[in-house]
Structure 1
Amino acid sequence: MTKIFSNQIKRSKDKTKASSTNLEDKANEKSKPMIIIGLIVSLSSIFLLLFTIKNKFG
């Protein structure tokens, strides 16, 4: 007995794999700048905190 829809099932699986890898690539592209911006904000807030402590108590 031949499977009539077997090739369509394989195609739909391939499409979902391709779209998931495409989403992962887009997420990686967006996450790198967000990590850099977050690092800059964190370092600047630590610097401002230390500067404030030095001026107030030092």
Structure 2
Amino acid sequence: MNPFLIIPELKEMLNKIELFSKRECLTSTHRDLYLDLKVTLKTLISIEKGKEDERRNIA
């Protein structure tokens, strides 16, 4: 997989989670899980951005 495509895919997942987490039919447990997943995805995005910056500096 092209490493430069990871961030857009993670952002797309984050957007989908945002939409699902706003549904009224979800239980509080589901909302907590979505919140945890959002935090994890945001962390992964920032890690990947750091890696991308390193790759650009090397190139």
Q: TM-score, normalization: structure 2?
A: 0.53
Q: Quick one: which of 18, 30, 40 aligns to 2:51? A: 30
Q: Quick one: which of 19, 27, 35 aligns to 1:6? A: 27
Cα offsets for 1:12-40 (capped at 9, x unmatched): 000110000000000011111111111xx
Q: Could you say which structure has the larger radius of gyration? A: 1
Say how many residue pairs are matched. 35
Task: Give the number of the structure whose residues are more often helix, by fraction.
Answer: 1
Q: Percent identity?
A: 11
SS in 1 for 2:53: helix
Q: TM-score, normalization: structure 1?
A: 0.54
Q: Quick one: which of 37, 41, 52 aligns to 1:16? A: 37
**What is the aligned partner in structure 2 of residue 43 from structure 1?**
none
> Structure 1 residue runs of 4+, over 2 Å off?
none
In structure 2, the gaps of 5 or more residues are: 1-24
* Aligned CA-pair RMSD: 1.7
Aligned residue type for 2:57: I
In structure 1, the gaps of 5 or more residues are: 39-58
| Higher RCO (C-alpha under 8 Å, 6+ residues apart) | 2
